[in-house]
Amino acid sequence: MSLLDYELHDHDIHIEQNFAPELPLVYADTIQLEQVVLNLARNAVEAMEPTRPWGRLSITTRRQGERVQLIISDNGCGIPRTSWTGFSTPSSAPSPTAWGWAWPSARRRSRPSAAS
């Protein structure tokens, strides 16, 4: 998250990193996956502006069988229900306020290419 250190500090946002030990190897385009995570984190920074100075960004990994789950959540204001049109169905989330709106895009971007 070093690319976001300044923004996180400037917006008084605390980052929680909860990484599971011994995760299986993930075959993905690391640059695209990093871009997805950075975009989600930047969106979170914007969403947490009204929560200053209590912003919290959480990044969690956990193992599900032979798969790895990446969970990015924040305590920002969220997306108003009136703006939900056009979004995919939210993913199952660890809390009622943590939604997976960006997952379909992230999933497409993180799939290995035929050239990989």
Q: Where are the alpha helices (DSSP H) in 23-111?
A: 30-47, 103-110
Residue 112 reports pLDDT greater than 70: no
In degrees, to the nearest 5, what angle opens at C-alpha 34 toward C-alphas 91 and 109? 55
Note the pLDDT tens digit of each residue in 6-44. Answer: 788 887 888 899 999 999 988 888 899 888 888 888 888
Length, in residues, of the chain: 116
Whole-prediction pTM: 0.65
Measured from the Cβ of residue 4, the count of other Cβ atoms closer than 10 Å reads 19
pLDDT at residue 93, rounded to an integer: 42
pLDDT digits (tens, 9 = 90+) for 41-80: 888 888 888 888 888 899 999 998 888 999 988 888 877 7
Helices (H) and strands (E) in the chain, counts: 3, 3
